Amino acid sequence: MSDTQHPSHHDRTPGLVVAVDGTSGSGKSSTCRAVAGRLGLAYLDTGAMYRAMTWWMLEHGVDVHDPAAVALRSGEATVVSGTDPAAPTIHVDGTDVSGPIRGEAVTGAVSPVATVKEVRERMVALQRAIIAEKTSTGPGIVVEGRDIGTVVLPDADVKIFLTASAEERARRRNDQNVASGLPDDYEAVLADVKRRDHLDSTRPVSP
């Protein structure tokens, strides 16, 4: 048989990469998981990785509003992200933190942690390693976040920006909170959505 009939591993076509960016509460996760499941692709929630790092900082008593302190400890946590769209997982130092990272404490602290240059550099390196593995050994991956199409994967095959009004995103997030047993407080959620929009759009690194 000729080489053209049996291409080597190095000659194979890389898997598909779909980069989906968007604002908090815009429906990125549900959309990306559905697309990945429909197309048989892996799935990576980069936001969960930043939340996992934030959880570790809080657990270790690091002042998340002190960039120097966060930068100093940013290399200590081992963050492992699962890529199954049907059951995505996130672990820190072997602990399943998929529940805790969605709590109020992490939600309120993730933006200042995610603005730290050293944190972003480490997370981007981890994300690119996962993406490289999934595109070299599988059909591809759907990646969601805030800077995937601009920083992490500027050459992605497909790039999408998904958003909605602050009011609609707050309604969706508040409904999720109520469904999980948290208080019904739309105005507080709306204020938090607007706060995160401002922090994420004005940060010096990957705004």
Could you give the CA distance from residue 3 to residue 128 in angstroms, rounded to a whole number? 30
Per-residue pLDDT reduced to its tens digit, 148-157 = 999 999 999 9
73-83 average pLDDT score: 97
Look up residue 193 and give its two tokens: 């959505």
Is-contact 41 140, C-beta < 8 A? yes
Residue 1 has pLDDT above 50, yes or no: no
Strand partners of residue 90? 81
**Distance in angstroms (rounded) separating the CA atoms of residues 130 and 18:** 14
Mean of pLDDT values over 24-40: 92
- Considering only 56-70, 90-104, 192-206, which range has the smallest mean pLDDT? 192-206
What is the reported pLDDT for 9?
A: 38
